[in-house]
Amino acid sequence: MWNWNILLELSNKYPLLEFTGIDKTKLFPSLIKPSNLNFIHANILEGLPFQQNHFDFVHLNIVEPRHTKDQWAFIMSELIRVAKPGGYIEIQGFDSLQEQLVQDF
């Protein structure tokens, strides 16, 4: 499960911004969730449930580095699709995986 502390902290610190967390598990905080924070149950490998150009900032925390090269290509295309033009995409996780992604793309 992803560590939701970052989203909880950011949504409390910036109450005028909207935050969305996505995970394939359904273990989301509910009692302490600020009103500007939403959680969605989804699997990125099935596509992200958002229109293109939806987010100013997209953050991917790599928890499972077990995807194939084709799956990573799809994941990257989804991140690019939902990011607004001029928006930012940040990938955080295993250093060796990041090096492989940079080499592949």
Q: For the chain, what are the domain ranges?
A: 1-41, 50-105
Arithmetic mean of pLDDT, 26-55: 89
- The model carries a pTM of 0.80
pLDDT higher than 90, residue 66 = no
Instruction: Quote the longest CA-to-CA distance of the chain.
Output: 42
CA distance 2 to 61: 8
Q: CA 93 to CA 88: how far, in whole Å?
A: 17
Structure-model confidence comparison of residues 101 and 93, the more confident one: 93
Phi, psi angles (nearest 5°) of residue 83? -80, 140
Q: Which of 18-27, 80-89, 91-100 has the lowest mean pLDDT?
A: 91-100
